[in-house]
Chains A and B, each alone.
Chain A
Amino acid sequence: MAVITLHRKPLTFAERTYLPQVAAGLWTTFKHLLRPKETLEYPEQRPAIPPGYRGVPALVKDPHGREKCVSCQLCEFVCPPKAIRITPGAVPADQPERTHVEKAPQEFEIDMLRCIYCGLCQEVCPEEAIFLQNQYSMTGYSRAEMVNNKEKLYALGGTRPDAHYKWDKKKAAESAGGAHH
């Protein structure tokens, strides 16, 4: 490769006085002075959350308002900072149409002081029951307050409109004689 020697142009007298440069700089900064401000005034103005944002993880229900989590504990296993604790239990007796699911979380805790918002729990979940949603601000006065329990997680997550109804299909397939849907 050819070597190209660049010659630095000698400065003109005006450039060496530095004054035209300072004046031009002053003009630039003055334009910035008059320009609209870039700052978002936070508590009143909120930033737009882009799709795919990884906020506070939460549990979601299906469109019929039924629990999706089957307490398989994959998320607990995959969670790098070990923020998730699940106490597995049986499906509550008042949900007869879901007894074939066999398991449901008795308690589901995410310690938000440990959570690193990596989204691996969402990725690993076979039931699409846990999602990292839009909420980005978590505060509390005590460590205990920063642990989200099952009730809080469902309150945060709400209902998600994807109509898979995996377990309904499985039940229907079973009653129709097939092993799988």
Chain B
Amino acid sequence: MCDLICHIPPAVQDLLLSILKGFAVILVIFPIAGASSMAERKVSAWIQGRYGPNRAIVPWFAYVPFVGRFLQRLGVFNLMADGGKLLFKEDPLPGHVKKFYFMLAPLVGLVPAFTTVTVVPFGAYLDRAGQVVPLMLANVDVGILAIFAVASLGIYSMILAGWASNSKYPFLGSVRASAQLVSYELSLTLSVLPVFLWVNAPGTDATLSLARVVEFQSQPGLMGGMWFIFLMPVSALIFLVALFAETNRLPFDMIESEADLVGGFHTEYGSFKWSLFFVAEYSHMVVGSAVFVLLFFGGWNPLPWLPLATLTGWLHLQDWPVVVGALSVVIFLVKVLAMIFFFMWVRWTVPRFRYDQVMKIGWQKLLPLAIGNLLFYLLVIGAIHAF
């Protein structure tokens, strides 16, 4: 192995590693986004008393007992057929669009969606010293700030798409998108501040890293092992609501509301460019759910008051860092997928708000609540450290 790698100069090694990490992101996020789109259809169908897509099958797979049939009923091959269709069907370019920006918009949407994935820790393993080491692509200390900063760039793709489409419904959709995202960004950011205030106790190294938040939730003791959902339910609620608005999911999907805007900002888009918008939307959902799980649901810790390290001790896996890593990734992914299911579940439960209601909830309800919540925890934290 070393013959291959060690002769490469370190600078090139770093570059190669970055490229590999980049590919890893794309290879993980694209399938998750695709699977989410299929899950969306299946969950929608189940809630509505239907079966959902369950017919397509690759001929030779039909002969595999149980597994072939199971995958067919799950719609896995419908997903592949869908992907193939979107890749190969004709890519329409309407005559009235601003062509360069029209084609640029989906890519602009994709970049922030994929970039945020790199700073999200998705698992952890225990090193020889029994220290928990988080698994992430780029361990930057600004963590949550990087996610918020980059994720909100995604709005530029919608504005660009709406403007470049050069017709009224996409334009209205993108105007709504910018108004809505600005409104809810504030509550989103204010709702996580108490968490970081709590984590950054005086005398410790200041950090905005998400891995540290998880570490904080995996301490021993009643308070230490408590997930932030129990400690700060209002913060979690505000973050969740704002997350729905930020990812343009129902009941806040003013941007694409079919009833009044045809398709919203992507009305003029078709085939692969359209599907790129959806990959971006689903990866925003995945990253948003991941951040929510990390902040409020203990990240890769299996249960409240049961940190990963304890579970490793019980299972005698101290000498198997790879297994522990895989286990933590699985625990984390299960939580994230449960969150994504929750997104879809809410979609078929709560009807879409009116636009004025969205604005009213954002500015008159959620923002004051977030500020009040922040002040409350400021006082609480101050009181704890004063006495």
Among listed B42-50, B153-161, B299-307, interface-contacting one: B42-50
Cβ of B345: which chain A residues have Cβ within 8 Å of it? 26, 29-30, 33
Q: Which of B49, B237, B346 contacts A35 (CB 8 A)?
A: B49
Cβ of B48: which chain A residues have Cβ within 8 Å of it? 32
Cβ of B131: which chain A residues have Cβ within 8 Å of it? none
In whole Å, how far is B52's beta carbon from the nearest beta carbon of chain A?
9
Q: Which of A22, A36, A39 contacts B350 (CB 8 A)?
A: A22
Do most interface residues of chain A lie in helix, strand or loop, or is the interface mixed? Answer: helix
Determine the distance from Cα of A21 to Cα of B43 in the docked complex, in whole angstroms.
21
Pair B49/A39 contact, Cβ less than 8 Å: yes
Question: B349 near A: Cβ within 8 Å?
Answer: yes
Which residue in chain A gives the minimum CB-CB distance to B237? A19
Q: Mark B69-82, 1 if CB is under 8 A from A, else 0.
A: 00000000000000
Q: Which of A22, A30, A32 contacts B49 (CB 8 A)?
A: A32
In whole Å, how far is A11's beta carbon from the nearest beta carbon of chain B?
14
Which residue in chain A gives the minimum CB-CB distance to B49? A38
Pair A38/B350 contact, Cβ less than 8 Å: no
A14-66 interface with B by 8 A CB criterion: 19, 22, 25-26, 28-30, 32-33, 35-39, 41
Question: B51 near A: Cβ within 8 Å?
Answer: yes
Cβ of B49: which chain A residues have Cβ within 8 Å of it? 32, 35-39
Question: B348 near A: Cβ within 8 Å?
Answer: yes
Cβ of A33: which chain B residues have Cβ within 8 Å of it? 43, 46-47, 345
Determine the distance from Cα of A35 to Cα of B46 in the docked complex, in whole angstroms.
8
In whole Å, how far is B144's beta carbon from the nearest beta carbon of chain A?
26
Pair B349/A39 contact, Cβ less than 8 Å: no
Cβ of B348: which chain A residues have Cβ within 8 Å of it? 29
Given A29-B348, A37-B51, 9 extra CB contacts under 8 A: A22-B349, A25-B350, A26-B349, A29-B349, A32-B48, A33-B43, A36-B49, A37-B49, A38-B49
- Pull 12 A–B residue pairs with CB atoms less than 8 Å apart, ordered by A: A26-B346, A29-B47, A29-B345, A30-B345, A32-B46, A32-B48, A36-B49, A37-B49, A38-B49, A39-B49, A39-B50, A41-B51
